[in-house]
Structure 1
Amino acid sequence: MYLTLLNGTGYVFNVEDYMELRRKYHIIGAFVGTANSKGWSSSGTAMPVALTKWETQLLIDEGICVLLSKAKDLTKEPTPESLETYKKAAAARIHAQGNALRAEKLRETERHLDKIVQGKRNKLLKQNKTQEAASLTAKDVLEEIDRSFVFDTQNALVELPCEHPTKHIGQLYTETIFDSSSLKYRVFHELWQLGKFVTAGDAFGADFLVYPGDPMLYHASHIIILQATPVIAPLELIAKVRLSVNVNKSCVFAYEQAENKKIIYQTVAWCNPSK
């Protein structure tokens, strides 16, 4: 599976690839496309999907994906032939939109054809055009609408293809995206190996959010906070745990043991003696 290098991380442009990453490998990323009110995203965003740097590094380390840099090919000056090909393809897409709109207009007319014909006949009668009113048929109305239809290209929808519409070449990118020895990566990797859905936790003042299932169906159950040492100031501890209580999630601190570099996870719950 291929990821495209953009802004220092991997992007997914293929819908089938993303669905496999999400369902099979529990990689979520974030939709960064625009102008979509339906589908997998409730925020109006759409494909492509930007992965975090640690998600990208994990997919590379696990041999699930390879990272490609397409900057050289996609930023070079287009040839006259490629420009002409693109213009013809764009014109064909706009022409297809016009045909689709024409067909829809005719279908909508047919739904109310009897009323439209009667209205036109009444208008002709008011103009003392009795013969024209008597000879007017439904076929005449449809043909008139078909002839008068004009598609204003200013109203055309601009297609933003999910994948690049023309052939291009990518170079394999082998540099490190995220430090695999860092505590953040190792915690993410361990939780991922446990089959958890893990996303960035910035919105909750944490490092990670952990979900019992796909975030489309479940709320996060835990917030993960990374600590350089097992020591934490009392006020900071209270603030973090109170936050987790307010958002109805368990608060987990993760830190590394100095002796053997093992990661320790410690859950802290808020206790209210009055209850």
Structure 2
Amino acid sequence: MYLTLLNGTGYVFDVDDYMELRIKYRIVGALVGTANSKGWSSSEAALPVELTKCETQLLIDEGLAMLVSKAASLMKSPTPEILQEYQEDFAARLKAQADSLKAEKLRETERHVEKILSGKRNKLLKQGKSDEAAALTPQSVIQEVANNFEFDHQNALVELPCPHLAKHTAQLWSDPICDRDSLKYRVFRDLWGRGKFVTCGDAFGADFLIYPGDPLLYHASHIVIIQSTPAIRPLELISKVRLSVIVNKSCVFAYEAADEKTIVYQTVAWCNPSK
């Protein structure tokens, strides 16, 4: 599996690769693409997937993926032939979407054609157009809908052809993405090795979040905070633990043991003596 180097980390552009990473190797990343012409939305995010630096380095170290740089190939101007091929493909995608929407519109009209027909006839009778009302048929109503159908490109869903063009070059990237000896990476790799789903914890003021299963199905159970030493100031301890209570998660502190080889995890729970 190949990861594409962008913005200092790995990106996944192929849906099959991403599903394999997520289901088989518990690598989640973040969908950062958009499938809508109106702009990016968290509820409608699409490929590509941006991996964290820890996720990228882990996949490389575990021999599950290789990182490649495609900058030289992808950043050069396309030839007129390639540009025309892309424009034709893009137009074909929009036409297929328009045809699908039109077919669905006609099916919906057929399901309610009697009700639509009755409403149109009543409207014409009120206007004194009895001959036109009598001439209306289900077929004419459906044909009118077909003739008046318009597809607004502004509302089109844009299918991004994520896999890169076959005719491009890439260079293997051998430099590390993050420091393999850093405590943060070692904690991430250790938790992942224990069979956990581990994601970025920035949204909760932590280093990592731990999930009991796929984040699409489960809420995070723990927040992980990395400490350079086992010592922590009382106010900082209280603030971190209170934060975990508010978001209904357990608070885990991770730090190095005295031998600087072993990672120690300490779970702290909030206790109310009055209860």
TM interval, shorter chain, is: 0.7 to 0.9
Aligned equivalents of 2:130, 2:262: Cα separation in 1: 95
Report how far residue 182 of structure 1 moved. 0.5
Amino acid at match of 1:161: L
Q: Deviations over 1:28-70 (max 9, x none)?
A: 112222357xxxx974433322111001000010011111222
Amino acid at match of 1:272: N
Spell out the pairing of 1:54-73 with structure 2 (5 A cutoff): 54-73=54-73
TM-score with structure 2 setting the length: 0.84
- The change in CA–CA distance for 1:208 and 1:118 in structure 2 (over 3 A counts) is closer
Specify the alignment match of 1:126 in structure 2.
Answer: 128
Determine if contact 2:35/2:158 at 8 Å carries over to the other structure: no
Give yes or no for the alignment of 1:14 onto 2:14.
yes
Report how far residue 180 of structure 1 moved. 0.7
Give yes or no for the alignment of 1:171 onto 2:171.
yes
- The change in CA–CA distance for 1:134 and 1:247 in structure 2 (over 3 A counts) is closer
Greater Rg over alpha carbons, structure? 1
TM-score with structure 1 setting the length: 0.84
- The change in CA–CA distance for 1:254 and 1:97 in structure 2 (over 3 A counts) is closer
Amino acid at match of 1:256: E
Q: Tell me the secondary structure at the aligned position of residue 195 of structure 2.
A: coil
Spell out the pairing of 1:26-65 with structure 2 (5 A cutoff): 26-34=26-34, 43-65=43-65
Give yes or no for the alignment of 1:109 onto 2:109.
yes
Q: Tell me the secondary structure at the aligned position of residue 25 of structure 2.
A: coil
Determine if contact 1:27/1:197 at 8 Å carries over to the other structure: yes
Specify the alignment match of 1:273 in structure 2.
Answer: 273
Determine if contact 2:14/2:163 at 8 Å carries over to the other structure: no
Q: How many residues align?
A: 268
Report how far residue 262 of structure 1 moved. 2.0
Report how far residue 156 of structure 1 moved. 5.5
Amino acid at match of 1:52: T
Of the structure 1 ranges 256-265 and 11-20, higher mean CA displacement relative to structure 2 is found in 256-265
- The change in CA–CA distance for 1:80 and 1:254 in structure 2 (over 3 A counts) is same
Aligned equivalents of 1:139, 1:272: Cα separation in 2: 72
Determine if contact 1:102/1:149 at 8 Å carries over to the other structure: no
Specify the alignment match of 1:157 in structure 2.
Answer: 156
Of the structure 1 ranges 149-158 and 50-59, higher mean CA displacement relative to structure 2 is found in 149-158
Structure 2, unpaired ranges of 5+: none
Determine if contact 1:113/1:138 at 8 Å carries over to the other structure: yes
Q: Tell me the secondary structure at the aligned position of residue 49 of structure 2.
A: strand
- The change in CA–CA distance for 1:109 and 1:215 in structure 2 (over 3 A counts) is closer
Report how far residue 155 of structure 1 moved. 4.2
Aligned equivalents of 1:135, 1:245: Cα separation in 2: 70
Q: Tell me the secondary structure at the aligned position of residue 102 of structure 1.
A: helix
Aligned equivalents of 1:272, 1:134: Cα separation in 2: 79
Q: Tell me the secondary structure at the aligned position of residue 114 of structure 1.
A: helix
Aligned equivalents of 2:83, 2:160: Cα separation in 1: 17
Report how far residue 251 of structure 1 moved. 2.1
